[in-house]
Structure 1
Amino acid sequence: MTAPALVHTRISHIRREPVDHRFAHRSLSWLVDIDRLPRLPRGLRWAARFRPEDHFPSPAAAGETLRGRLESYTDSVGAPRADGAVIALLSPRVAGYVFNPLSVFWCHDRDGRLRYVIAEVHNTYGQRHCYLVRTDGAGRAEVDKEFYVSPFNDVSGRYRLVLPEPGADGRIRLSVVLERPGRSRFTATLTGRAEPATPAAVVRAQLRTPLAPWVVAARIRLHGIRLWCRGLRVEPRPHPDTKERSR
């Protein structure tokens, strides 16, 4: 599937302990080439605006591009620069608001080979953190958890990630499993299929899943309230460090 594309997604969360809590819902993401970010016709720009400063931990510099922010991040962690195409799955600003629980950047070298994948996580406190991983042929990788996301989970544990590149048929299948002492405690999956991001497709998408970032953020808070009402203890939030910067 050639970017830019709309991705009609199904997102599911399964929490197995200390209480069993499961849900699934539809949402909307975009698949974009970070060097060719879409710009919609004037009457539709409220439905998708792509701003570089909505991604990566460092504060935005005037006129900085998304490629520039990505390179600042990879330089800061000592990774070689991705000198080829970078395709990203993310949510743009919709009606002035953006919330990206998970953005994925597939970073290639100049010969088109996948060099590494960056999984960027945002929490509801306005913080963000990136995990740079080198996946195997099936898109799998593991990494220690380093970032406070849910108020009901501390930063212990290890993530088992499955982040394969989008298929030629436009299908996307991603998963994140948080593992602690020999068991899977939390599983999140995102599946979907991409379609070309024509103006007509954007209108249809807003009718099908309107104001997706607003809805996702509201749902996360509602599920948090339900879990708290069921007796889950809130874990103290650590102070931000250099890897956790406010937007």
Structure 2
Amino acid sequence: MASSRKKIRQQKREVRRATFLSSLRANFLTGLVVVAPVFLTGFLMWWFIGVIDGWVLPLVPERYQPKPYLGIDIKGYGLVIFLIFTVFIGALAKGFFGRAILGSAERLVDRMPIVRSIYNGLKQIAETVLSQSNSSFEKACLVEYPRKGIWAVAFVATQTKGEALERLPGDKPYLSIFLPTTPNPTSGFLLFLPAEDVIILDMDVETAAKLVISAGLVSPPTKAEMQAKVDAVAKPDA
């Protein structure tokens, strides 16, 4: 009997220890999910500010920097100078004289073969990314890629127009599709596909981007699941 009770107590201790370790592991993972995004966001912001400071501060005369007066460098001072300078240039470029100067500078750049290609490419990218107009992707979709039977999440950029549409076979509408890579959606492929071969998704572009970045780990709820949640909230208590 004594041996049996001792064995039972030992089993209970093992169960409590296993439960404690399991709870500790679950708490750690939960904390990691909460802390990791905050830490990484702060780290990236700190790194970005440091990069801007490293570029800008060497161009600022020492008498206009805080270190000679305070004895320390102020993190982000270069970023503030950069923002003020950028706003000033933007305001200047909107004016008559600013546009005239910018036009003259661009005409000068157009005479330089290699510099012209680099400048025009970077300018087009900047205008596309930073444009305030509604020129973002229209919808999320599914396309068969890289072969039939394999589907990939992509984004509808616009309806295909111009020479590309004229050269494509068949008299049917085509869509310009951006197929992003995982987990970095800033790179990818431009595809011209018949509209009939593209499956438009109900999820918005932001949700589809999260799906791509997470490599499928973050899956949005379906319409039925969302409606079930709405019905559960709206249903009065019995």
Question: Do the structures match in fold with TM over 0.5?
Answer: no
Normalised by the length of structure 1, the TM-score is: 0.18
TM-score by length of 2: 0.19
The structure where helix makes up a greater share of residues is 2
Look at both structures and tell me which one has the larger radius of gyration over its CA atoms: 2
